[in-house]
Structure 1
Amino acid sequence: MSGTDKTKTGVDLIGPVVILVEPQLGENIGMAARAMGNFALTRLRLVKPRDGWPNIAAQRAASGADHILDRAELFDTVEQAVADLTLLFATTARAHDQAKPVAAPDAAAREIAGHVAAGGGAGILFGRERYGLQNEEVALANRIITFPVNPGFASLNLAQAVLLIGYEWFKLSTGGGLPFAMPERSEPASQYQMQAFFDNLVRELDKVEFLRPAEKRDTMLVNLRNIFTRMDPTKQDMHTLHGVVMAIAEGRKGPAKGGVLDGEQATRLRALLAEHGQGTAPSESSTVRGLARLLRRNPTDAERILWQALTKDRRFAGQFKRQTPVGRHIPDFVSFVQRIAIELVNPGETEMIVKDRAMRQVWLEQRGYRVLDIEAAAVERDLAGELERLQSSLEDGR
């Protein structure tokens, strides 16, 4: 795993000597040195490395642990390599039928740390990659270290064995402190801030009728609130969540991004739609389809007001669809149940728009639809009155 920070000072500790007995590959020596460097073990001794020493393959595999390789000591026999040590551990995955204390890595690390602190010299023997340590070599040790691994697959490579010992020793010597912690968070959100966010969220959910059916509303609110209280949010979290809710509710401004068109913009789009449509079905012309999509995604204020009323008012809820094709035409609102189409009339409409609407009305009426024109300005000025007129029209059609 990468992550060495060259700007940080390494830990300087006096630890045990790592002794590799007849290592076969330079790469394994290099990787063992890298594992030593991870946990501030600096003293490496080599007993008759097969491929000689120094070894370029070891340097390549050390990944920057050159300071350990450069100071490595070379010996002809294990006896010479351990002669100055007063506490020696032999690592092995096999029982050697020798009456010696057997320790796990953490217990060995505790004994090594105490021995070194008292001024003694400690070392750990690691055997050959192929078959480990011989009985005579294990006999030189005071203790045996073995690893709690899968008994059906107990083989570790050399660097892994060094790393496990080094980890336990370093953790013990440094108190197990981690090199970094989670960055400081913003201060916790207050109950007032949480409530303000939740009120805003519920208000927007009500606008889209999310909290339905009515009998489940209270349960849904409790569940929603618990989602956020379990988070232990910070003030910054609340600012972010509030911004997310408002961005979704208000939409991104601009064509086809859920924005709001004013009457003049809508009129221009309708004129283009009328000019390019000429009786063409929305699915038959990319231009017509694109313009119709713009109108659908960017309703005017009057369209938004009327649509919200049609979806929330019990007299009309569920009966109308907005900007939905009826054959080759797209009325502003249509009720297939009531066979009625509503056309919003914006101020200053061109002759082309008026002509297109008249043609659409004829086409719809020929197919059994009643068409009701509603002034956009009237919707913004007197919505209740326009809804009453719509209700009367529905009743007259029964």
Structure 2
Amino acid sequence: MSGTDRTKTAADLPGPVVILVEPQLGENIGMAARAMGNFGLTRLRIVNPRDGWPNLHATRAAAGADHIIDTVELFDTVQAAVADLNLLFATTARPHDQAKPVVGPDIAASEIVAHIAGGGGAGILFGRERYGLQAEEVGLADRIITFPVNPAFASLNLAQAVLLVGYEWFKHAAGGVLPNAMPERSPRAGKEQVASFFDNLVTELDKVEFLRPPEKRDTMLVNLRNIFTRMEPTKQDMHTLHGVVMAIAEGRKGPAKGGVLDGAQATRLRALLAEQGGAGKPSDDGGSVRGLARLLRRNPTDAERLLWDALRSDRRFAGNFKRQTPVGRHIPDFVSFTQRVAVELLNADETQAIAADRAARKSWLEQRNYRVMVLAATDVESNLAAALDQLAAAATPEV
């Protein structure tokens, strides 16, 4: 019963009577009742059900449409079942050679809605599973309903026929309103907001040299701008897109928590960079080294990630330290320009090349009046609070 929600108010619309003529199987009656419930029809009359009434199979097949099954009206003849109605439709897929208007379910539904609104009573006849309605039963109707189906295979299941008519009736009676319309959107973004976002996007794209070659830059910008103007973004859309761009940009620059490498891989990458001469020395393959350095900046080791999170949240340091930021030709792990303090993390089992690279960096920084503090990565991971206390003491200016 997917889609059934007992907490919602049922549709309360005056509708036509559904009349099943001598149905054979209880399951078909139950499925017809279920189809009625789907589209707000509640009045079901049955003429001479073959297997009697009530019928357990019908109740089970109704799948919760008990309010229809429990109020079924039984009749011995079709004439008795339609006696109180003054607009009657007969559903059939076979020609009966009767001078009677033939309409589709949509036209019939429109007539039924108008007729009931004027105080009339309307009904729809559905025939037997095997051969439908007899000619004299069709003769009782004012109109014939037929469906636009494949003429070579026109037979419909009883419940299917009820569902098609019920759908068209409910669509007209309820004004065609869909139950799950799109929720109210935030106001549409103004041109100024879109332009501000686009300028920010272009700035970040320029940093990664996306808009190249130069002779195609203008065309690329027009194409990009058209993407956002076609989508008619809301203010919330612009806020979200701006956040996405900044998250990607920050991840590229370094402060992002995640990355494409885990802590162990980042540690090995640091060793490789040191062995290639470090960020401050020339290399035969400078482009590759610079690429690896950028990768390292957005992929901190586990200890770097822990310490960076703490430096941004601890009131003693918040806003003072930067991560993987150049100081001259060197890039310490962390640096505070205001306090002139640099922090280096010492990883276990690091190579001689890494140690030599750090020593050269430490000497260079100290010559320029930076206090350089070396913290063991294992100490940061095992006792972060003590490492932060050490750093706070080192960052306090000497009197």
Matched, 1:74 2:74: yes
Q: In the alignment, is the contact (CA less than 8 A) between 1:92 and 1:145 conserved in 2?
A: yes
Q: In the alignment, is the contact (CA less than 8 A) between 1:90 and 1:144 conserved in 2?
A: yes
Gaps of 5+ in 1: 260-268, 270-286, 311-315, 326-342, 361-372, 382-398
Q: In the alignment, is the contact (CA less than 8 A) between 1:26 and 1:51 conserved in 2?
A: yes
Question: What is the DSSP-based 3-state SS (H/G/I as helix, E as strand, rest coil) of the residue aligned with 1:116?
Answer: helix
Percent same amino acid at aligned positions? 67
Cα deviation code 1:20-66 (max 9, x no counterpart): 01112212111211221222222111112122211112112222221
For residue 374 of structure 1, report the CA deviation from its aligned partner. Answer: 9.0
CA distance in 1, matches of 2:81, 2:155: 25
Matched, 1:356 2:338: no
Matched, 1:18 2:21: no
CA distance in 1, matches of 2:245, 2:267: 28
Letter in 1 for 2:267: L
| 1:14-163 → structure 2 map (5 Å cutoff) | 14-163=14-163
| Match of residue 259 from structure 2 | 257
| 1:293-372 → structure 2 map (5 Å cutoff) | 293=269, 303=279, 320-322=287-289, 355-356=352-353
Matched, 1:205 2:205: yes
| Match of residue 182 from structure 1 | 182
Question: What is the DSSP-based 3-state SS (H/G/I as helix, E as strand, rest coil) of the residue aligned with 1:45?
Answer: strand
Pair 1:142–1:254, CA change in 2 (3 A): closer
Q: In the alignment, is the contact (CA less than 8 A) between 2:250 and 2:256 conserved in 1?
A: no
Pair 1:182–1:353, CA change in 2 (3 A): closer
Structural RMSD (CA): 3.8
Q: In the alignment, is the contact (CA less than 8 A) between 1:345 and 1:375 conserved in 2?
A: no
Pair 1:91–1:295, CA change in 2 (3 A): farther
Question: What is the DSSP-based 3-state SS (H/G/I as helix, E as strand, rest coil) of the residue aligned with 2:35?
Answer: helix
Tell me the TM-score normalized by structure 2: 0.67
For residue 357 of structure 1, report the CA deviation from its aligned partner. Answer: 6.8
Gaps of 5+ in 2: 293-328, 333-341, 369-399
Question: What is the DSSP-based 3-state SS (H/G/I as helix, E as strand, rest coil) of the residue aligned with 2:131?
Answer: coil
CA distance in 2, matches of 1:4, 1:296: 61
CA distance in 2, matches of 1:123, 1:345: 85
CA distance in 2, matches of 1:321, 1:190: 43
CA distance in 2, matches of 1:51, 1:294: 82
CA distance in 2, matches of 1:83, 1:349: 93
Q: In the alignment, is the contact (CA less than 8 A) between 1:344 and 1:376 conserved in 2?
A: no
Pair 1:255–1:193, CA change in 2 (3 A): closer
CA distance in 1, matches of 2:7, 2:71: 23
Q: In the alignment, is the contact (CA less than 8 A) between 2:44 and 2:68 conserved in 1?
A: yes
Question: What is the DSSP-based 3-state SS (H/G/I as helix, E as strand, rest coil) of the residue aligned with 2:123?
Answer: strand
CA distance in 1, matches of 2:89, 2:14: 17
For residue 152 of structure 1, report the CA deviation from its aligned partner. Answer: 2.7
For residue 294 of structure 1, report the CA deviation from its aligned partner. Answer: 5.8
CA distance in 1, matches of 2:212, 2:44: 71
For residue 89 of structure 1, report the CA deviation from its aligned partner. Answer: 1.2
Pair 1:34–1:354, CA change in 2 (3 A): closer
Pair 1:105–1:254, CA change in 2 (3 A): closer
Q: In the alignment, is the contact (CA less than 8 A) between 1:296 and 1:323 conserved in 2?
A: no
CA distance in 2, matches of 1:255, 1:33: 57
For residue 293 of structure 1, report the CA deviation from its aligned partner. Answer: 3.5
Cα deviation code 1:342-363 (max 9, x no counterpart): x97969899x979437999xxx
Letter in 2 for 1:238: M
